[in-house]
Amino acid sequence: MDANKLIVLQSIDYAIHPHCGICGWSDLSADGWGYCDAHEYEHRKHSEQRSRLSVHRSGSCPEFSLDEQKLAALGLHAFREFVR
């Protein structure tokens, strides 16, 4: 990363907030929707069976676990220090 860009990003307290798109628990499709493997729920509407929780790439929860490969796949690896 350009040194001057880094200085400005640091000076403005730039942050990439934890979200499902870079979380190791998520299993997402190209449209940004998918499932969270950290959470499930009892699906009462159809079957009353336990179901994987549907989530969107932009969401987040306290169970966030950074996945370095997903970060790199989104082209964000150079911004790793800004994930908070």
* Per-residue confidence in pLDDT tens, the chain, 84 aa: 899 999 999 999 999 999 999 999 999 999 999 999 999 998 777 766 788 999 999 999 999 999 999 999 999 999 999 999
How many domains does the chain fold into?
Answer: 1
The verdict on residue 56 lying in a domain is yes
Structural domain containing residue 63: 17-75
Contact 43, 6 (CB under 8 A): no
The verdict on residue 58 lying in a domain is yes
The verdict on residue 11 lying in a domain is no
The verdict on residue 84 lying in a domain is no
The verdict on residue 80 lying in a domain is no
The verdict on residue 8 lying in a domain is no
Residue 43 token pair: 């699906």
pTM above 0.75, yes or no: yes
